[in-house]
Amino acid sequence: MDVSIWINKILESFQSCDINIVVKLLSSAKISSKGDIYLIVGKQVREVVEGESGQQAFIEFASNYAMYMLHKQERTLILKAFSNLNQSIKAYSKFYQCQVLSGSWSVPLIDHLCKTLKELSYLAESEYKKSKEE
């Protein structure tokens, strides 16, 4: 699935507060990109998300998550994938704070992000140790 289609589906799901679709798109989608992910995501987010700080935070969240997914799909650069995922979670935290996301509908997404980071941290630690030994 192209990044532009992927981000459109995520934005639509956020607008309708259908967090289960967001989690599904973040956990199982296979994405591809034919350009600069940051620019592609930025263009589409600016059309949907209000407020400069909210836009920037969501762009950082989605761009870094897409880069994490691409690294994960290629099964290379585990440390880079970990870094992208970590940055994505930090950006989502900023987005969550600057937007009015009332209620607990976002909890499954936060849970998914934390579990994913935990799982990847084990692989990243192993990769880091290997690179230190070499």
Identify the pLDDT of residue 15.
85
SS (H, E, C) 3-54: HHHHHHHHHHHHHCCCHHHHHHHHHHCCCECCCCHHHHHHHHHHHHCCCHHH
pLDDT value at 60 more than 90: yes
Question: How many Cβ atoms sit within 10 Å of the Cβ of residue 39?
Answer: 11
Listed by start position, the domains of the chain span 3-133
The pLDDT tens digits of the residues spanning 11-29 come to: 999 888 888 999 999 988 7
The pLDDT tens digits of the residues spanning 67-114 come to: 999 888 877 788 888 999 999 999 998 888 876 565 677 788 989 999
Identify the pLDDT of residue 125.
87
pTM assigned to the model: 0.86
